Structure formats: structure tokens, C-alpha cells
Amino acid sequence: MILPRFLQEGPLKLVFFGGKGGVGKSTCATAAALKLAQDHPEHIFLLVSTDPAHSLQNILSTLEFPKNLEVRELSAVSSLHEFKVRYEASLKEIAERGTFLDQVDIQNLMDTALPGMDELAAYLEIAKWTQEDNYYRIIIDTAPTGHTLRLLNMPDLIHRWLIALDTLLAKHRYMRSHFGGDKHLDHLDVFLLDMNDSLKSMHALMMDKERCNFILVMIAESMVVEESIDLAKALSKQKVFMSDLVVNRLTPESHCPMCIAENNRQKLALRDIHLRLPGHTFWTLPLLVDEPRDKLVGILWSQLGVLDKDLGMPTPVLSGNKLHLHVENPIQLPANSSKLIIFAGKGGVGKTTLACATALRLQNDYPELRILLFSTDPAHSIGDCLGLRVQCSPTKVILKLDAQEINAEADFEKIRMDYREELESFLRDSLPNLDITFDREVLERLLDLAPTGLDEIMALTTIMDHLDSGRYDMIVVDAAPSGHLLRLLELPVLIRDWLRIFFSLLLKYRKIMRFPHLSERLVKLSRELKNLRVLLQASEQTGIYAVTIPTHLAFDKTNEMTQALQRLGINIKALIINQMTPASICAFCQAIANHESELLKNAHETFPNLSTALVFRQNDPAGLNELRNLGFALYI
């Protein structure tokens, strides 16, 4: 059988594996890197993870890597430190030359405004590696969809950031040319040009279909199909080449009613994506009894197949043999005094479905409360789950239950526009000592030097705005995948420091910078951030429900998440283990059930004090009625 291009020798330099959380991106990326390294020992390969909740070490915990394969899990903290060591002196000198701010102001801004978020750090690191050209091919295990899209949008963000820095140099460049006649580029001009050339080179590489390929990994489920379509459209818009899709965990053909039901569901999902993504090659991998860890990862591609476009008709199943809703050990329904209910976990474990089901159950049991179902995941899914078109403003689901999917980037762009309008208004009556030509541009770019992630935090504080205003009594949150959720929960400290510095600048230079509307908005943000941090640590008002599935990797990630939340002073209310396999006369299904039973014992040892509900595999609980039924089965 002919192997996919990403597993062959050739001009490919970058291979991204991406898709919705929980579909097997890390496993596929790791298996690809191992096969390439083993088949081509004369070349050096790099496997790198950009996901803040890294999985590579969990997958390869006992496996000895081939000598020609390097494995790295990018750390935002270490990347930021390395960036500062390399560039901080140049950045400070640029700021000193081109602004009315003094050295203390500049030091404070640089300490908080330098890029340190995962996607930006990852982009800069990958750009450096491609420029150094030490690797035959770099295989990249990306974060779940929403944060992969942010990675792909990095060229625009960095371009805006470089323009802000160049603006700071413009005044000095003009003075040197006008009064000294020196039109040569100095070392700082060269510094910015070199950085810009490096990023242009990386951007060009990502749009070169001969040297860069994005492999979309998915499983055959309706919600995964919708998110995969969205990602494919975004890749096309960014001109990033995608020809291949890997459909993971396909259920084998069988006479078992549960296998037939799974097969039917998968066929319908695959028929849908075939129609909507014509012209692509769909490679298939089967559902395995044992998780592909350690040595099993290395032989994963031996199971590879090509999807037959003639998928056949769904196999009839007697109504008595269909998968029925089954939950063991239902947990306590959150009290009506709760303010914030958060569903957290690794991508692809079912957070969205459980958040929707919970919101419907709460509305049924507490009809007097106004409830909002709120998504903080950049790759929103609650609309797909509910079967409704959910807006970025509250959208009615049923009486006293609304849903909202925020658009953080659009909201922050509105703030930028408002700020610039306020600046224009102010400069019309500016003081004589303000150099309009250059200082105006410095002021215009001030928000572009804000910490990456400020937009998402401002959107997150919408929760506090809803609660403080009394519009809603309770908010149910479908959180971003665990790595990004933890980053968001840690961000308020950085944002608080940046706000403090920004306010000090507004006070110190109040004769030069007067922006009452922006100041009012930032004061409100500061207050809401403080209130959000207090609410998150108030166990009687906030409940975080950890969602996982019965795999080693998911349990490891859940354990890491709960420990990180505890360090932040946030406790878990209960654990929900989703997608359990019921006992069966089918040998394949029973083997999986036995494997999960062993994992369950480990889970009880790891989380001995947590109430644990088991949700067994069922037909897709999409639509209000099926979600209500799940909500009633899940809670007592």
C-alpha cells in the first residue's frame, strides 16, 4: 500500500497534526515521527508539541526514542525567558528612543507586554528552527482547534507588534536623518528588519504546499465533523495546504448491536464530511482495544487504510438493541445558590454535551432562576450540540435559559477602534508640546503592546458583568480544553500587573494622555477580574466538574488539571467519566470494557474523595430532548 505523503521522503519541512481535542492528534503526530525516524535513519527529525496540556511524554513514557528523533514540549514560560534574554536590550533601546516614557515605564511595560503566550511562543520557536534548518522535517502536535487557529493567525499579530516597535523608532530615525543627515540603517533598524524577514520566511513556508502540510485528524462523530469543517475553512482562508484527513478510531464491522450502532453513526458522519470536503484523501485507523502508547504507537500506521467513498447504507438494528442512555453513580445536582458551574477537562471528552445537559436540568429544577450557558472555547460547539444558531450575544434557548458563544478577538478589536476614536478626539485639542507626528503613532499602538490573551480575559469577565448586573442568576460554562483553561485562570495576575502599569502611565502623563472612556473600561475590567478570582475560589458559589474518558492519557491529564486547580485555590466538585463501554457478549467490546475496568480502579485510587459518575456510550445526545434526558440521568 502507498503511504501518505507525510510519511514519505520528500521536500516537506513542516507537518502539522491538528483537529478537535480528543481525536488522537498527539498519537498520530508521535506515530508519524517514530515511523519517519525509523525508516530514514540518515535524517534528523523533530517532534514538537504546541499544546499547553502536553501529551507526548505521557504517550512515550517508557519508549526509547530513535537517536535521530528529538522531542520537545514547548513551555511558554521558558520561551518567554529565552525571548527576553535574546531581545530585551534591543526592545528597551527602541522604546527609549521613540517615546516620552521614562526608563522605569519602559521596564514595566516590557516585563508585562513581551509575548509569553503559548501560540506566539510556539510560532517564534518554530520560525527559528526552520530558519536554522537543522531538521529534515518538523512534525507538530498542535493544540485543539481554537488555539491552532490562533497559531495560524500569529503572522497578523506579530506584524502588528512589529509595526508598534517600528513606530517607536520612527521619531529617532527622522531626527537622525533631518538634523544629522544620516540615512543609514542602524543596529536597531537591522534588528527589526531581520525579525520581520524571519517571520516572512516562516509565513511563506506555511503557505508553500510543497514544503508544508496540515493533516486534519478527526473521529467520525457529528460534532467533530462540524469543527473539522470550520478548521478546514480557516486553513483555506490562511492558504495553509491540507490534502489529507486521518479518520481515527473506526469501529470494526461486527454483528454486535453496539458495534452496528457505532458503525451506523460513523457512516452518517463520514458521508456528511465527504460531501462537504470533496477532493481530499481520507486515511483510516481502527479503534484498538489497547491504547496506542509506547511500542504500540510505533506500529500504528501498519493499521492504515483508505476510506472507501462508497460507505454503504447503515445496517438495520432492532429497536430493542439500540444504545440506550445509562449512567451509574449519578452525582448531586448543583444547589440553586450556585453562581458558576464550570465543566473542565481535556479536549474531546464531552464537556460541551454535559454542560448543555446540565443547563437544561438546572432550568427544569430551578425555574425561577435565569441561567446562561456560556462557551469560553474559541472553537465553540454549544450551538452544534443544542441544534441552534448561538450568537456572540445571549441567545434564547428556552424560557429563562440563554446561550452565548463569545468572540474574544472581535470584542477586543472593538475596544481598539473605540480607543483610536477617543485618541482622535483628544488630539484635536492636544497640548502644544505633544509631537503629533510621532507621539500620536506611539499612542495609537499602545494597546498593540498589551499582553497576548488580554482579549480572552476581557471576554471571560463578561461572566462577571452578567452576574453583577443581575441579568443572570447562574452561569454554566463550557470551558476551553484543560491546558488553555489553566492558562486563562493564571492570566489574571499578568493582566492585573499590566493594568496597574497602564493606570500609572495614565496618571503620570495625565497632561499628555487623557482617555476617560478607555480608563473607565479598564477600571471596570480590573474590578471584574478581582471579582472573578474571588468567585472562582468561593466553593459554595462555584463548582468545577472534571470530565474525562477511560484512557490512560485522559486520566493523566485530569490528574494534572486537578492538581493545578488546587494550586490556584480552586476545588473540584465531582468527576464525570464519559464514554464508558458497557459489558457485552461481543468479544471486541468486552475486551475494551475489561481494559476500562482496570483503568477505573486506578481512577478511584487517584481521586478517592471525588464523587464519580459513569456515563456509558450512547447515541449522540444532540437536541434538547436527548440532552434533557442525559441531565436527568446524570444528577440526583
Are the CB atoms for 129 and 121 separated by under 8 Å?
no
Cell of 148: 491552532
Neighbours of 417 (CB within 10 A): 10
Angle between helical axes of 624-634 and 351-365 (0-180°, round to 10)? 80
**3-state DSSP call for residue 196?**
helix
Split at pLDDT 50, 70, 90, the class of 36 is: very high
Tell me which DSSP letter residue 212 carries.
E
Per-residue model confidence (pLDDT) at position 115: 41
Question: CA 497 → CA 151, 493, 626, distances in Å?
Answer: 25, 6, 45
Are the CB atoms for 261 and 322 separated by under 8 Å?
yes
DSSP 199-210: HHHHHHHHT-TT
**3-state DSSP call for residue 402?**
strand
Alpha helix (H) residue ranges in 304-407: 351-365, 382-386
Q: Strand order of the sheet with strand 69-73?
A: 69-73, 45-49, 137-141, 14-18, 212-219, 244-250, 281-286, 305-306
Domains of the chain: 5-79+121-177+187-306 (3.40.50.300), 323-407+453-580+612-636 (3.40.50.300)
Instruction: Decide if pLDDT at 70 tops 70.
Output: yes
Instruction: Decide if pLDDT at 316 tops 60.
Output: no
Question: CA 78 → CA 75, 84, 116, distances in Å?
Answer: 5, 10, 9
The residue-averaged pLDDT of 105-113 equals 61
Cell of 495: 493582566
Tell me which DSSP letter residue 114 carries.
S
The CA distance from 69 to 46, in Å, is 6
How high is the mean pLDDT of the chain?
Answer: 81
Neighbours of 534 (CB within 10 A): 12
Per-residue model confidence (pLDDT) at position 126: 85
Instruction: Decide if pLDDT at 206 tops 70.
Output: yes
Instruction: Decide if pLDDT at 199 tops 60.
Output: yes
The residue-averaged pLDDT of 71-75 equals 82
Are the CB atoms for 382 and 350 separated by under 8 Å?
no
The CA distance from 217 to 51, in Å, is 15
Q: What is the largest CA-CA distance in the chain?
A: 89
Look-up: residue for cell 535521530? 68
Q: Strand order of the sheet with strand 395-398?
A: 327-328, 611-616, 572-580, 542-548, 340-344, 474-478, 371-375, 401-405, 395-398
The CA distance from 357 to 634, in Å, is 9
pLDDT 10s digits, 343-367: 998 888 999 999 999 999 999 999 9
Split at pLDDT 50, 70, 90, the class of 254 is: confident
pLDDT 10s digits, 446-502: 666 565 566 667 777 788 889 989 999 999 999 887 776 776 676 666 666 767 766
Q: What are phi and psi of 353, to 5 degrees?
A: -60, -45
pTM of the model: 0.75
Are the CB atoms for 49 and 55 separated by under 8 Å?
yes
The CA distance from 39 to 8, in Å, is 9
Instruction: Decide if pLDDT at 43 tops 90.
Output: yes
Residue 417 or residue 626, greater confidence: 626
Cell of 614: 459513569
Are the CB atoms for 217 and 23 separated by under 8 Å?
yes
Burial (CB < 10 A; 0-12, 13-18, 19+), residue 159, is middle
The residue-averaged pLDDT of 273-291 equals 88
